[in-house]
Amino acid sequence: MFDFTITAKNNRARTGTFSTPHGTLQTPVFAPVGTQAAVKALTPAQVADLGASLVLSNTYHLYLRPGDDLVAELGGLHRFMRWPHPMLTDSGGFQVFSLSQTLKVDEDGVTFKSHIDGSGHRFTPEKSIRIQENLGADIIMAFDECADPNDHAYIKDAMERTHRWAERSLKAKRRADQALFGIVQGGIDLDLRAASAEFIASLDTPGIAIGGLSVGETKDEMHAMLDVVTPLLPENKPRYLMGVGTPEDIIDGIARGIDIFDCVLPTRLARHHAAFSPEGRLNMMNAIFSRDERPIDEDCDCYACKNFTRAYIRHLIVAKELLAGTLLSIHNLRALIQLVEDIRGYIADGTFDKKVPMLLKQWKNNANRGIGNSE
């Protein structure tokens, strides 16, 4: 279990397989986000039909509602949401620091108020692991602190605390059927990122996550961080770049040796009537589409593009029909999953490196960075 095998390499990019109790992932892989145990507007069968193999759910949200004890009582998250394939949960750290009202961070953990009802709660590394064991995802995360990347003095303290919390998370873990990943932090400081990569790489974990990016830094800063971090990570463990998933960031990330991505962007854009396309991002509410009989993207093989016109989708949006969000979510998710599938093929035949400029050109104008990590 949790064997990672590299099947092809093209410079720093690689394809591989990662085995989990609910199936083997082909990497690189893009994971749709099911924040509250649902990928918004889609059934699990629709998500699987898109070619998605891994879904992410959020520990913070499920702990608050419906509660991890209840999920465990009902057979765990796979059974509760009827997703029989690989699943990943985050540690709750990112949401505690971004969504809730954080009251106190100390060596032991974080005290916070729920964003739903203001009730008081406390997460520690041990608590985060216990919640994630109740949820039962295949891949789980060490509890971490995602600090403001521009506060240099604080970021070092937060990183060192995250390292101690990673050791405590490992010690607290009891289930053998879950892969616990440590998380590299360190803001946008090259030395801190290098120190964090070396520390997290020294832990006995089957994979490594890189956190605290796509939180407002520039594209160049993110690339610089990845350029210092990934060469310090062991080759034989999958690398997960948390919350990052614009088309350009996926292309750039894979080129820098990343294997796993997740992002709310495709489903969030769908709810804002936007569609990925080779012409750049389309606002499907635009009146220019009212008589447009073409699909969103003539080359896309998704259910929405094979069956429906831009004119019909625009009509659904204007008429506020829920099907609009479903069709746009199907298209946007398929677009990213198809992109990653294509890239796996390019890595296998050794052409990915040469195709990076073409791919970046094709996908620019589809998404701005910094649209956020959380729904």
Q: Note the residues at the interface with Zn ion (CB under 5 A).
A: 300, 302, 304-305, 331
Closest separation between CB of residue 316 and Zn ion, Å? Answer: 15
Single out the catalytic residue among 68, 259, 262, 297.
262
Q: HEC profile for the chain?
A: CCCEEEEEEECCEEEEEEEECCEEEEECEEEEECCCCCCCCCCHHHHHHCCCCCEEECHHHHHHCCCHHHHHHCCCHHHHHCCCCCEEECCCHHHHHHCCEEEEECCCCEEEECCCCCCEEEECHHHHHHHHHHHCCCEEECCCCCCCCCCHHHHHHHHHHHHHHHHHHHHHCCCCCCEEEEEECCCCCHHHHHHHHHHHHHCCCCEEEECCCCCCCCHHHHHHHHHHHHHHCCCCCCEEECCCCCHHHHHHHHHCCCCEEEECHHHHHHHCCEECCCCCCEECCCHHHCCCCCCCCCCCCCHHHHHCCHHHHHHHHHCCCHHHHHHHHHHHHHHHHHHHHHHHHHHHCCCHHHHHHHHHHHHCCCCCCCCCCCC
**What is the spatial distance between Cα 140 and Cα 137, in angstroms, rounded to a whole number?**
6
Four-residue CA torsion sign, 25, 270, 116, 373: positive
Q: Closer CB to Zn ion, residue 225 or residue 336?
A: 336
**Cβ-contact 138, 22 below 8 angstroms:** yes
Compute the least distance from the CB of residue 306 to Zn ion, in Å. Answer: 8
Identify which of residues 300 and 339 has a Cβ nearer to Zn ion in the complex: 300
Residue 296 CB, nearest approach to Zn ion (Å) = 5
- Least separation in angstroms between CB 299 and Zn ion: 9
Q: Cα(166)–Cα(144) distance, rounded to whole angstroms?
A: 7
Known active-site residue 301: no
Closer Cβ to Zn ion, 204 or 298, answer by number: 298
The two most distant CA atoms of the chain are separated, in Å, by: 61
Q: How far is the CB of 331 from Zn ion (least distance, A)?
A: 4
Active site residue 262: yes
Q: Catalytic one among 90, 144, 252, 297?
A: 90
Beta carbon of residue 232, minimum distance to Zn ion (angstroms, whole number): 38
Smallest distance, Zn ion to C-beta of residue 351, A: 24
Q: Which is nearer to Zn ion, 87 or 305 (CB)?
A: 305
Active-site annotation, residues: 90, 262
